[in-house]
Structure 1
Amino acid sequence: MGIARLADLLRDETPEAIQSPPPEHYRGKILAVDASIFICQFQSAMPAISNRHGDKISVLQGLFNRTIYMLEKGMKPVYVFDGIPPECKRAKVSKDGSGHARRGLRAVQGPGPERHGDLKKLLSLLGVPVIQAPSEAEATCAALVEKGRAWGAVTEDMDALPFGCTRLIRNLKADKKKDIEEYYLPDILKKLQMTQKEFIDLCILMGCDYTSKIKGLGKKKAFKMMQKYRTIEGILPNINPEDRIPPDFQFHYQEARKLFLEPDVVEVTSLTLEWKKVDEDKVLQFLSGEKHLNREKVRRALQKLHPPETSRKRKAKSKASASAEKQKKITNFFPARKSAVHEKPSTGSSPTSSR
């Protein structure tokens, strides 16, 4: 669900810390991808697609197309899947701890761990590394970037920033009408004149997944109060009477702060990340043979991974080979024969015989 209105605040206060590069900017760069965000986008934005057996394949098809797009652009994605959410988030989201769509997306039930197996298998066949996070995927994405194992994190969740993500990338192919947004945390903190801990307190006040929100405390008011008092502890005694503090806020804000400062993440420094060649035959067999996606569409998508120059050379070579097979040598039509050699009659004296 992210941080309420944080993107709006940063666009107003730190526009120079937000860039809009073209997709080609990420060629050759390792990107930690929050898989749950893509899953929610495919479920909420794409029409429901089922195969001939009634299996829902919208997410599988969406993940395939999005990953092909990233690989075609030369990006090196590593997908991170959600683990068990923190207790305070599970109590807020659902009793059984299952995931739902993030803020700004239509509320839909996310696929459970049993459905993630198909998604992880597809990514493996595409040669893309997969990480299973112990808890929040965006927290592990942030750790990958912070420790230099990834260049940036691809997620729509702004809470990757309070988790310490140095570089957050939003709207990567999510909406063609919107530009990519790249947020650079060091410049944000410098412009806001805040430390990371103060920034975390600001995000909690604005509204996060781990605690209820103080009514009447919007983004501008929360920012101004943080500039003045620097901590939540300094702000609470100065809340106006018309602003209402939920009864459980006093306990949960400290828990939320700890979750942002000390998240449960994978030990990223010991990870082995390896990108392998796409196994096109197995991808085709899995998606078309087992999951019954349109075979021709899958094949056309895979063709995008072949560089244009290579494709042109391949076509030219194939065309030349075919032409050579059809063309016959002239000797096939007019077989060559040895011509007879006729000696001309001698006009001089006869040869002198040896003595």
Structure 2
Amino acid sequence: MGTYLTPIITRTRIGLRGLAGKVLAVDALNSIYQFLALIRGPRGEPLRRSDGKITSHLVGLAFRYSRLAIDYSCRFIFVFDGPPHPLKRRELEKRREMRKKAEEEFYRLISLGEYEKAFSKAVVAVTVDDWIIESSKRLIALMGWPVIEAPHDAEAQAAHIVSRGDAWAVATLDWDALLYNAPRLVRYVTITGTEWLPSKQRARRLEPELVEMSVVLEKLGISRRQLVEVAILVGTDYNEGVRGVGPKKALKLIRTYGSIERLPESIKKSIPGYEDVLNIFMKPIVYETYRLEFREPDYEGLEHFLVDENEFSEDRVKTLLERLRRAWGKQLQAHLDMF
């Protein structure tokens, strides 16, 4: 879920054209969760093949990113989470419990025929298993894009990749990439341009937004370390935060006192061990060396994987393969034009 910083972060709408020709480091699980929540059948159930294995994520990965590749000449580096940091395990356990309750409510509503209400629970009830992760990695590799597994948090590794100039921005909905010092972050990289809001029972129109670290810090008048301390006061995946303190109040506190260390003891006692959380963001564990190889898609392998193994429509897969052929051709031509 990441840290809630939305009210204080400056964003610029750039549209899909603002992504043209860019390489994006994608927070893979962030995208996969979106597909699992939103790509569903008429009764709110995820799409499945005949043996029951879920395929909603494969539909989303194949068709969103092939469209972005052909229409906007984008390329992608998909970064997956590694084993969770010990401090994050408690948060992950809370999320599992929340999803379990939402899943139970989802099936109760389905049994009553209340499909619209059930869909709102489906968005929360999403779970990811080994099949979903491994099948996603296989599909991405067949499409010719690099797959990297981070030591811990995918956003930390993605931020590092962008910082080194191997990608233009981190593509994620979460703000944690900023805390990990990503120079640029792009939100809402989507073709359909809508997001379902469960609490309001409606969808809203979305457009890609660019967030630049230098702009954020200048507007807020704080340092990156202070931004991380604002996040710690609000609460992160690694700590609970201070009760009753949201982004605006946290920002005011840090501006007033300069740091958590100088806060009144009545506030500071609510975040024991904050130094460990600060260190996670300021000195993230990442791989300094990684392999980035953009390859021509394995068209035959893709057809076998999607049609034969996962029961996709042959016509839809032919459309996908044609897109990828054209996108690869455009990429080769652009490379030749450089010489």
Query: Structures share a fold, TM > 0.5?
Result: yes
Inter-partner Cα distance in structure 1 for 2:122 and 2:79:
20
Q: Does 1:166 align with 2:166?
A: no
Query: Partner letter of residue 3 of structure 2?
Result: I
* SS of structure 2 residue aligned to 1:202: helix
Residue 183 (structure 1) aligns with: 211
SS of structure 1 residue aligned to 2:301: helix
Does residue 266 (structure 1) correspond to residue 290 (structure 2)? The answer is no
Paired residues of 1:146 and 1:166 also in contact (CA < 8 A): yes
Mapped contact 1:215–1:245 kept (Cα < 8 A): no
SS in 2 for 1:304: helix
User: What is residue 90 of structure 2 aligned with on the other side?
Assistant: 91
Q: Which range is displaced more, 26-35 or 151-160?
A: 26-35
Task: Tell me which residue corresponds to 1:304.
Answer: 323
**3-state DSSP of counterpart to 2:277:** helix
Q: SS of 1:299's equivalent?
A: helix
Over aligned residue pairs, what C-alpha RMSD do you find? 2.7
After superposition, what is the alpha-carbon deviation per residue over 1:68-121, rounded to whole angstroms, capped at 9, x for unaligned? 1232221110000111111111022218999979xx993335323354222111
In the superposition, relative to structure 1, how do residues 26 and 96 fare at CA in structure 2: closer, same or farther (>3 Å)? closer
2:97 and 2:154 map into 1 onto residues whose CA distance is 14
Task: Give the deviation of 1:307 after TM superposition.
Answer: 4.8
Structure with higher helix content? 2
Q: Is the 8 A contact 1:154 1:168 kept in 2?
A: yes
Amino acid at match of 1:162: L
Partner of residue 213, structure 1: 241
Q: 2: distance between equivalents of 1:175 and 1:143? A: 29
1:126 aligned residue? 143
Q: Does 1:107 align with 2:124?
A: yes
**Which of the numbers 26, 37, 40 marks the counterpart of 1:33?**
26
Going from structure 1 to structure 2, the CA distance change for 1:194 and 1:165 (only over 3 Å counts) comes to same
In 2 relative to 1, CA 219–205 (structure 1 residues): closer, same or farther, beyond 3 Å? same
Shift of 1:271: 2.5
- List gaps (5 residues or longer) in structure 2: 41-45, 101-120, 194-204, 330-339
- Provide the C-alpha distance between the structure 2 equivalents of 1:124 and 1:93, rounded to a whole number of angstroms: 27
Instruction: Note if contact 1:167-1:182 (Cα within 8 Å) is conserved in structure 2.
Output: yes
How big is each residue's C-alpha offset from its partner over 1:34-67, in whole Å with a ceiling of 9 and x where there is no partner? 0010111111122111112222111111111122
In the aligned structure 2, how far is the partner of 1:135 from the partner of 1:105?
27
Seen in structure 2, the aligned counterparts of structure 1 residues 261 and 99 have a Cα distance that, compared at 3 Å, is farther
Q: Which residue of 2 aligns with 1:287?
A: 306
Max Rg structure: 1
How far residue 149 of structure 1 moved from its aligned partner, in angstroms, is 1.5
Q: Per chain length, whose mean CA-contact separation is higher, i.e. which structure has more relative contact order (CA < 8 Å, sep 6+)?
A: 2
Q: Conserved in 2, the CA contact under 8 Å of 1:90 and 1:96?
A: no
Determine helix, strand or coil for the equivalent of 1:120. helix
Q: Equivalents in 1 of 2:99, 2:323: separation in Å?
A: 32
Q: Distance in 2 between matches of 1:193 and 1:105?
A: 40
* SS of residue paired to 1:213: coil
Q: CA deviation at 1:136?
A: 0.5
Contact 2:231/2:247 (8 A) holds in 1: no
The residue identity in structure 2 corresponding to 1:65 is: F
Letter aligned with residue 282 of structure 1: G
**CA-CA distance at 1:174 after TM superposition:** 6.6
Residues 82, 108 of structure 1: alpha-carbon distance in 2 compared, 3 angstrom cutoff: farther
Equivalent position of 1:233 in the other structure: 261
Deviation of 1:283 after TM superposition, in Å, equals 0.8
Structure-1 separation of matches of 2:260 and 2:192: 36
2:16 pairs with one of 23, 29, 44 = 23
For this pair of structures, how many residues does the alignment match? Answer: 292
Report if aligned partners of 1:88, 1:210 keep a CA contact under 8 Å in 2. yes
Q: Runs of at least 4 residues of structure 1 off by over 4 A?
A: 95-101
- Distance, in Å, in 1 between the alignment partners of 2:224 and 2:275 is 15
Q: Counterpart of 2:62?
A: 64
Judge which range, 172-181 or 124-133, deviates more: 172-181
Q: What is the TM-score of this pair, normalised by structure 1?
A: 0.76
Question: What are the Cα deviations for residues 168-189 of structure 1, in whole angstroms up to 9, with x where unaligned?
Answer: 0000007512111110001111
Deviations 1:252-302 (A, max 9, x none): x221101101112122xx333121112222211110011111111111233
